[in-house]
Structures are given as C-alpha cells and as structure tokens.
Chain A
Amino acid sequence: MTVSSVVSGGDAQQGVAAGPTALEVRGLAKTFGDKTVLHHFDLTVEAGQVHMLLGQNGSGKSTLIKILAGFHQPDVARSFTVGGRSVSAGSAEQVRAAGLRFVHQELGLIGPETVLDNMLYSDGFPTRFGQISSGRARKRVMASLELVGLDIDPASKVDTLSPAQRTGVAVARALMDTGDAAVALVLDEPTATLPGAEVERLHAILRVAVSRGVGVLYVTHHLDEVEQLGDVVSVLRDGHLVAAGPVVDLPRDVIVHALVGGELEAVQNQARPVTAPDEADPVLQVRELVGDRVDGLSFDAAPGEILGLYGLTGSGREAALGMIFGSIPRASGTVRVDATPVMPNRPRASMEAGVSYVPADRKSAGLFLELTAQENLTLSNLRPFWRRGRIDRRAERAEVDSWFKRLAIRPADGAGQTVGTFSGGNQQKVVMAKWLRLNPDVLLLDEPTQGVDVGAKAELHRQLLASRADGTAIVVSSSDVDELVTLCDRVLIIRDGRVHRELVGDDITDHNINRGFLEASTSTNG
C-alpha cells in the first residue's frame, strides 16, 4: 500500500529557481502507545514551491504538523532539515529559529487591535529606553507585509480586513525577520472557513511569497486548490504516504482514490428534475424577509427538493437560514411551514413546526464539546426516553447507536465519549444525526461540510439525498460550488439580500454558479 519511493520534488520540478531544499524529512515515524499514527516516510518541500498535503481527518497529517512544529518527538528520525540545516525535533524554538514557520487554522489574531500590534506580539516590539520605537516597528512590519505583497496600512485594525487579508497578515507575521534566507511555511487548512472569492485572493498572496523563494507545505481538504496552487502533492491515509508526485502527474481521480482508499462511491443527485418543480404546495414559504444583511428575501421550497443558496460574503446568504429558523432576529417578513406562520426568534417554535437547522460553525454553535456524543445527539428531543421519572439511558443509547451505524460515525462505540475528541467529519455527522432524528419537514443547513474530509462529505451528502427521497424539503446554504452542483435541484444566487438568479436542473453548473455570482459581485463589491 505504501508508496515508499516517494516524493522527489527535486527532479520533478518545472523551472522554479533551484535554491536549497526548504524542508526535508527522512524516515519519520510516530507511535502513540501501541498505535502507529505515522508510518516511516519521507517528505521534501523545495524552495519556491507549493507542496499540497492531503489526508482525511485521522490520516496523521495533524500529527505530522505537530512534529514539525516541535510539539511531538518522532520515534526514529529525531531531526529534519530546514533550508539545508539540521534541526532536532521537539524544540519549537529551534524550529522557528531555523526558519520553519506556521500558520494555523486558528490565526490567533486579535480583531480589535492593529495589524502592527498583532504582528509584533509574539516577536516583541523594538524598543528604545523601554519605549516602543514606532518607526522601527513600522519598518519591520512593512517589510514583512511587502514580502507577501499585502498593501495595507499597519495601523488599520484587523477587524476591518477581509478574511483573505487576515490570513495574509498571519502569513506575513509568520515570515517576520526571515530576511532573504530560504524558509519553509506550513499552512494548516487556511481556506477551511474562507468564502470562494477570498480563497483566490489568498492564493495570490501566497504566490507572491513563493516567488520570493519560500517553500510552502499546504494542508487542505479542497481538491480544487491542489490544481490551482500546488506544484507537488502528497496524500496521507492511515499514517501512510499513499501517493506523491508533481500535481500535473496526478489527476484528480487518482488523488481521490488515494485519499479514501477506493471506498468512496460517487455521490450525485441523479433524480434532478430538468425544470422547476410545480410550486403547488411548497412546505416552506419565505416572504420578504428583512434583517441583518437580508433585504426582501423570498423563496419557496417543496417537499423532496434540495434547494441551494449561494452568494458572496455580505450578500446576506450567511444570515438567511438562521433568520428563517429564528436564531437570528428578523425585522420583518414571514416564514410559513405548511402554510402555518412560524414565529420569529423562537428556535423551539420552529423545531415544533418541523424545521431542523444545522448551523455553520459546529464548534461554537453546533456542539457541546465537553458533553458526550450521546448527550449531544439526543438533546434535540429527549421525550422518547423520558420514562417513569427518569431518562432511560438504555433506550437512548440504542437510538444513538443506530444513528452511529447509519452515518458510519467513528469511533463506532464512541457514544459515551466527549464529542470534542471526535474528528471534524465525525463531529459534523453527530450534528447531522441530532437534527435528522427529528424527522424534519424542512431541513436547513449552513455550510454542512465545511472543514470535513472527503469521505465524511460523501456520507453527509448521501444522507441528504436519502432525506430528500423521504420528502424532506432541504435548503443548503454553501460557499462550496461543487457541493451545490452535486446536490441541488435548484440554486438561488443571493445578492443584496435577495434572490438575484435562479438556476434549475442542468443549468446548475460550476460555470453558471460562478457567473451568477460574478454578475452579482460586479455591482456590490465596493
């Protein structure tokens, strides 16, 4: 299974300045107790290249990054080279001093403070007689911002920046004081929470840094990015390096196969109608919704259809579903389920009317990380287990186990574990099960597969298609165009807080969604 004659970035590359190797790891392995997380493998990141690292949750890539960052000691090879120099593993200071830098998914920026302050918190402010020397501080920060081609005022507050700019600031901060030395930069899922257009902007920032000779190791779940940005790609599965090579030599289906080990069946909405369904009895009717950035949003959803919502940041798309469910206040407008009006700002009332809502951010809004998976899953309705003055745990466990089986949640016997210990994909499956078990008439989902691996994503999509077959009206709000193309019967492009375009059946393509979105963006992007 293991490809052992692995990554050979050196001889495979196309005309990038041949500097020293940015990062080289040989014979790395890691075992926790009796569980081997990383099997003996090599990895090379050349200077001036982007090396994409793919792997599902639990594939060992987080462990790899933690070893590189100095959090864990590897088993055998106790050193790796950065820019040609040997660094002993397990020391965060040494790693940093050698020029290996990290941008984690959590950027660690303090929103209300300035770019300048944020960039100097960890490095220390240049001082004279104990007072911050603002001139020198500004110069250092500007040099680093320039390195990634970011043209922003260091005195501006981080909160005022776009998401891509924020990630750019984190990159610039990571590259502080590296001078002209070849350095390696590790980015851990930098685009997991970025909307579509912002991803492109971040890539532009990274290309600038790469053109200056930085070697980038880029961890992602998005296969699109591999083609857009990568020079070399490596795929981890179950701790083995299962595929590696130049991006041009590895077509997408080969990568997908390597990622999931051939267990993935293509999920595609087969039963997609060619025309709009006759709107005889829509189960969900949204009329003239106003509030936040939503301004006069109206649409219907019929039983047994999957309706997609797409729109750029600030279009009102993000708030739409929360407003329908009642978790975000609305100024005016009506929501009807089965022709009965649903009260605003009352999640409980919406649930009783048959509406389920999977929020976008599972960690802050979807889950109770320190409660068990079982408690998380059944919290949406405890009534079936309430017997003779107590919760019947056995009945509860039985239902939870059946959901674990149905959604292939791992660990399969993990119902009693705190859900915070689950991988991202499995956490999302728990959230999904929590809402599916209510047997909703209307299922609203915000970014249902954000930060989820390919296998879990396919499983979640399968569940949605199954639910659709049962006659549920499903509304998916997503920034993932592929997802909308895969799932939806209709897609609404949102602009200025209302429906701008409607795509039906075969018109739902990557191209059309992006076009609708670009049309939308020309006049609103200001």
Chain B
Amino acid sequence: MRFNLGLDKYSGLYLGALFIIVFSFLAPQSFPTMSTVHLLTSTQAIAGLAALALLVPMVAGQFDLSIGATANLAGMVTVMVQVDAGLQPLTAVALGVLVGAAVGFVNGFVVVRLHVSSFIATLGMSSILAALQVIVTGNVEPLPVDSELFANLTQHTIFGFQMVVVYLVIVALVLWWVLEKTPAGRFLHASGANPEAARLTGINVDRWSWIALTTSGAISGFAGVLFVSLTGPSLSFGASLLLPAFAAVFLGSTQLQPGRANVWGTFVAIFVLAIGVQGLQLTTGEQWVAGMFNGVALLVAVALAASRERVGSRKGAQGTPADEAMAEAVT
C-alpha cells in the first residue's frame, strides 16, 4: 500500500486545521484563545445536537425539516411551564423532551400511515409548530426562568467547558453505539439504503422510519430545552438550527466513513463549519458571514457526496448507475 494522506476520509479535519492556522494568523489576538474554544464548543453544542437529531432519520432515508421548529417549541414549553405553572426544572425538562418526541411521533404517523413523503410532512409540520408556538406564547417572549438549577443544567462548567458540551458528547456516544454497534443501527442503515430490499429481508421499514423520526423529535426537543437553559427564551432560535444541521450531516457523510451518514463525521463537520464561521466573523466582523458560509458549505457538501458516488460507481465493475447515486445524495 502506498502512503495515503486520507484526503478522501479526513478532508474535513485538514480543512479545520487550515482554518485554525489561517485565522490564527489573521486574528492573532482574538482567535487562537481558550475563550474562543469554550465559546465555540458551548454555542455549537446546540447546533451539534440538532445535527445529530437530523442524522437519525437521514440514516433511515427520511428527512426531518422540522427539527428547528420542534426545538423552539420544546424550549418555549419548558420555559412557560416553569414560569407560568411553577413546575420543577427537571419535570419541565422532561416535558420539553416529551413535546419533541410527540412531534416526531406525529411526523412518523404522517409519513408511515398517511404515506406523505417525509420532506413534505416535516415541512408542513414546521409551519404548524411555528403557529402553535404563537398560540402558546401569544407571540410574547416569556420571562427567563428564575432557577439556578435550570441554568446550571447547561452553564455549570467542567474543566472550563460548559455542561452543554458534555450532553452533546453523551448523545453522540449513544447514537454512535446504536447506529454502528447494534442490530437496530443495521436495520436503520438498511432501511435508508434500499427500503424494498430491507422489506424483503424481513425488516419493518415503516417501524424504523417511525422510530427514527420520533428519536429525531426527542433529540431536537432536548436541544431546544438546553438552548433556553443556556441563553434564555427566544421565539426564533429554531430557524437558525436547521441549515447548519443539514450542512453538517451531508458534509459528515463525506468524512471518516465516506458515503455513509455517520456520527463522528457529523461531529467533525459541525465544528469545522463553526470554526470557519467564527474565524470569518472575527476577521471581517460582518453579520452575513454565518448564513453565507453555511449555505455554501451545504451545497459544496452535497456536491462532494454526489461526485464521490459518481467516481465510486465508475470504478466499480458493475457499479450503481451515476444517476442512482445522484438520487441517493439528495435523499
């Protein structure tokens, strides 16, 4: 074997390293500091959770466009039940996650039972959730929760890292175990790779799709709860979670295990993107950097995944036709 830089698998890590070097050079005072590291990890922990939430249905071949709206609604519910109903923080957290899971369950129902494509089902759901949020909050931002326990859920620090980072790592570890080490993971991957073949192998594709969407909802709900604990209530934070999550999952599927949506690839991608955004913001100070960067990254990631599939199919003796691979990259 020839020495291999692993550009096909580790390009994201190289890109991240490149960002760090370039931005350290451009902004030597502000960028290469521990405070940047802590800021990045804590702010990106929520985005990372949203990306992991999306990863699960994506593995099973389903979209979930409602993760942002789900997170937002779950966060608002968690705040309001504490402020208005005086519920205990931990009960409120559980309720928030439950709201997310319920939304995911309904998504699963619409997709599996009503045979609506997940793209449309979750698009519709996110609009419904936004409306529900207006009904629940009256479009007035609720007061922050006055509870140390609730704030410490995320803001308590360990080794300088805020707790929220720990949750991200725990969720990532659990998902990695489920998706890569258990039969459930195999069944989810199989359902996404070829639903018909999965069905003929005795896999209940509908059930796994439903489970995947419910899981996505629950993790989104958890992300929303953590957000309001970390930064306080907001009526519109959900919308900003969706696009980076998609960018991270697609970019992640070109990393570590190319051609396969995977946990650590997504993990790497979310931080590489964040480093890029953070660095550009520090050096340019422009507001539009994050949106532009994430949008471009999403397009590039999908294009990369598609071209990898094309090359792969040309190499293979009787590989999949390129158009099939293209279709694969966008589903």
Contact = CB atoms under 8 A, between A and B. Distances in A.
A in complex with B? yes
A62 B317 contact: yes
Interface string A379-394: 1101100100111000
Interface in A308-362: 325, 327, 347-348, 350-351, 357, 359
Nearest to B328: A370
B194 A106 contact: no
Contacts of A391: 181-183, 186
A204 interface: no
B199 interface: yes
B197 A370 contact: no
A152 interface: no
Contacts of A325: 200
A440 to B, nearest CB: 12
Given A106-B321, A390-B177, A382 B200 contact: no
Contacts of A386: 182-183
Contact of A370 (B199, B260, B321): B260
A367 B194 contact: yes
A31 to B, nearest CB: 15
Given A370-B260, A379-B201, A58 B196 contact: no
A366 B197 contact: yes
A5 interface: no
B190 A379 contact: yes
Interface residues of A, number: 38
A315 B256 CA distance: 49
Given A57-B317, A390-B181, A418-B259, A347 B193 contact: no
Given A379-B190, A391-B183, A420 B316 contact: yes
B199 A368 contact: no
A269 interface: no
25 contacts: A62-B318, A347-B201, A347-B202, A351-B202, A363-B320, A364-B196, A366-B197, A366-B200, A367-B194, A368-B198, A369-B193, A369-B194, A369-B324, A370-B260, A371-B189, A379-B187, A386-B182, A386-B183, A389-B177, A389-B182, A391-B182, A418-B316, A420-B319, A422-B316, A424-B318
Given A367-B197, A379-B187, A391-B186, 11 more contacts: A347-B202, A357-B200, A364-B194, A369-B193, A369-B319, A379-B201, A386-B182, A418-B312, A420-B313, A422-B318, A423-B317
Interface of B: 177, 181-183, 186-187, 189-190, 193-194, 196-204, 259-260, 309, 312-313, 315-321, 324, 328
Interface of A: 57-58, 62, 106, 325, 327, 347-348, 350-351, 357, 359, 363-371, 375, 379-380, 382-383, 386, 389-391, 418, 420-424, 427, 434
